[in-house]
Structure 1
Amino acid sequence: MAVLGQLARRLGVSESWVRDRRCAADLALASLGDAQLVLLRPRRLMNANGRSVAQAAELFGLTAEDVYLVHDDLDKPLGKLALKLGGSARGHNGVRSCISCLNSSAMPRLRVGIGRPTHPNAVQAHVLGCFSPSEQELLPPLLERATDLLLDHIRERSQGPLSGT
């Protein structure tokens, strides 16, 4: 949610969130050039957030390819980012819920590394826990990079293919 908050600030809509009961989420609408963006903060549990995503997609006439998922990734070290186009959920229950509810795995995904704890039984506490003070120092530049990556990709997609010379 931190990346989404930073994205909303950059787009000037951080104070524009509206609760939408139709999709059990908070929504903020923004523009990026000619592209109209719908920012979505589901109010459901992560394992069921695909219902909110699918309902919002239907409400705004979006296909799975139009939906960007931003999610944590245990298999990437803290601070590492990767933009993935489609594919499996890779064990992430929130992504699995979105794939199931949208009946597609075609969504672009920004994977934000949070690192994997050394003890396998500590995964749930790690995912749901807070960042340590030293980890918190890494967050501002990470959020900036994540937002830049998302905005650049959205701009490229909204401009379409360039004509050859």
Structure 2
Amino acid sequence: MGLLDLLRLRRKEDPTVAANTWLVVGLGNPGAQYAANRHNVGQMVVDELAARIGASFKTHKTPSRVAEGFLRPGGPKLVLAKSNGFMNTSGGPVSALLKFYGLEPDRLIVVHDELDIPFDTVRLKAGGGHGGHNGLRDILKATGNVDFTRVRVGVGRPPGRQDAADFVLKDFSGTERATLPNLISDAADAVEAIADLGLVAAQQKFHSPA
């Protein structure tokens, strides 16, 4: 039995790790040079959630930074995580976190940028493929499971003939930055709704016409 297996057993025996615990992973790349990129919007969302629950990110035994807290007293517990590695190596840290906390993939919420959704739009789904997203691709490979929930944060398609990979590795435009706080807030609201109400109720709320 390895170290992570022992830690998982301890977590299962810990009454504070309730069935209502959710692992929320914000995808992105490490380092200040990437922090404001479109590809890092998932990490921006978990930063917002950490601020809401009054938690700080700390180095974790897995290759991640983690912040933990409750939506409200007696409410769902959120384990917020950002990998220490790059986007295309997201799978190992996510798999290790699931094992550490003794959680199944159906208790995982991955927040990520989505090219196929217009900017300033949030969509929610469970299951499915990776759609060309390297972070999702590596999570699917590492966990061998598609049954996790995705909060898809729309960044839109690149203009003209700009390469999609270059587009997501650039910062949001000036016009987008004016609206970005609202988008991040909406995505954080969506995570809270999934944890609190369930996916179907959250989809009804966020997919309904304004």
Common fold by TM > 0.5:
yes
Matched, 1:46 2:87: yes
Trace 1:6-17 onto structure 2 (pairs within 5 A): 6-13=48-55, 16-17=56-57
Shift, 1:119, TM fit: 4.1
Shift, 1:148, TM fit: 1.0
Q: Which residue identity is paired with 1:81? A: V
Higher RCO (C-alpha 8 Å, min separation 6): 2
C-alpha separation in 1, matches of 2:121 and 2:173: 17
Question: What is the CA deviation profile of residues 39-60 of structure 1, one whole-angstrom value per residue up to 9, with x for unaligned ones?
Answer: 1010111011111011011000
Matched, 1:24 2:63: yes
C-alpha separation in 2, matches of 1:4 and 1:136: 18
Question: What is the CA deviation profile of residues 104-163 of structure 1, one whole-angstrom value per residue up to 9, with x for unaligned ones?
Answer: 0011000001011134552122111101111100111111111111101110139xxxxx
Q: Which residue identity is paired with 2:62? A: C
Aligned-pair RMSD on alpha carbons? 1.5
C-alpha separation in 2, matches of 1:157 and 1:78: 25
Quick one: which of 133, 140, 145 aligns to 2:181? 140
C-alpha separation in 2, matches of 1:139 and 1:57: 30
Identical aligned residues as a percent: 32
**Contact preservation (8 Å) 1:23, 1:51:** no
Instruction: Give the alignment's TM-score, normalised by structure 2.
Output: 0.70
Query: Counterpart of 2:34?
Result: none
**Contact preservation (8 Å) 1:50, 1:97:** yes
Query: Counterpart of 1:87?
Result: 128
Instruction: Give the alignment's TM-score, normalised by structure 1.
Output: 0.89
Query: Counterpart of 2:46?
Result: 4
Shift, 1:35, TM fit: 2.2
Q: What is the number of equivalent residue pairs in this alignment?
A: 155
C-alpha separation in 2, matches of 1:73 and 1:45: 17
Trace 1:88-127 onto structure 2 (pairs within 5 A): 88-127=129-168
